[in-house]
Chain A
Amino acid sequence: MSPSADPTPPVPLKAGTPPDPRVASLYQEIILSHYRTPRHKGVLSGAAAGVEHQNPLCGDTISMQVQVDDGRITDAAFVARACSITQATASMLLSRVIGLSVAEATQVVAQVERLIEPVTPLSEPDAASLGDLRALASVVRFPARKACVRLVTGAISDAIAFR
Chain B
Amino acid sequence: MTFLAPRSDFPLLADTPTLHYLDSAATAQKPRVVLDALQQFYERDNANPHRGAYELSARATERYHDARATIATFIGATDADCTLFVRGTTEAMNLIAYGWGDAHIGAGDAIVVTAMDHHASFVTFQQLAKRTGAEFRIAELTDDGRIDMTSLRSMLDSRVKLISFPHVSNALGTINPVTEIVALAHAVGAVVVCDGAQAVPHLAVDVEALGVDFYAFSGHKVGGPMGIGVLWGRRALLESMSPWQFGGDMIEIVGDQVTTFNTLPHRFEAGTPNAADAVGLAVACDYLTALGMDRVRAHEVELTALLLDGLQLLDGIRIFGPMHAQERSGVVSFAFEDVHAHDLATILDEHGVCVRAGHHCAQPLMRRLGVPATARASVWVHTTPDDLHALMTALQHAKSLFADVALR
Contacts and interface: CB of A to CB of B under 8 A. Distances in A.
A19 B397 contact: yes
Contact of B372 (A6, A13, A23, A61): A61
Interface in B363-408: 363, 366, 372-373, 385, 388-389, 392-397, 400-402, 404-405, 408
B291 A11 contact: no
A59 B350 contact: no
Contacts of B405: 32, 35-36, 84
A6 B306 CA distance: 15
Interface stretch (B4-12, B126-134, B266-274): B4-12
B204 interface: no
A83 B58 CA distance: 55
Interface in A4-53: 4-6, 10-20, 22-23, 26-27, 32, 35-36, 38, 41
A13 B314 CA distance: 11
B401 A1 contact: no
Nearest to B391: A13
Contact of B9 (A1, A6, A18): A1
A5 B298 CA distance: 12
Contacts of B401: 19, 23, 27, 32
Contacts of A60: 342, 372-373
Interface stretch (A66-74, A113-121, A126-134, A140-148): A140-148
Given A12-B309, A13-B309, A58 B3 contact: no
Contacts of B162: none
Contact of B359 (A4, A36, A59, A144): A59
Contacts of B306: 10, 12-13
Nearest to B308: A13
Contacts of B307: 13
Interface residues of B, number: 52
A27 B5 CA distance: 37
Interface in B111-150: none
A1 B381 CA distance: 11
B30 to A, nearest CB: 14
Interface residues of A, number: 39
B343 interface: yes
Contact of B310 (A12, A22, A26, A145): A12
B374 to A, nearest CB: 10
Given A15-B313, A57-B358, 15 more contacts: A1-B287, A10-B306, A11-B385, A13-B385, A13-B392, A14-B310, A14-B392, A15-B392, A19-B397, A20-B351, A27-B347, A32-B405, A58-B342, A59-B359, A83-B343
13 contacts: A1-B287, A3-B1, A3-B291, A12-B310, A13-B310, A13-B313, A13-B392, A19-B400, A27-B401, A35-B405, A36-B404, A58-B359, A59-B359
Would you list the 9 A-B pairs with minimal beta carbon distance, nearest first?
A13-B310, A83-B340, A83-B342, A15-B313, A59-B359, A10-B385, A17-B393, A23-B350, A22-B350
Interface of B: 1-6, 9, 287, 290-292, 295, 302, 306-307, 309-311, 313-314, 340-343, 345-347, 349-351, 357-359, 363, 366, 372-373, 385, 388-389, 392-397, 400-402, 404-405, 408
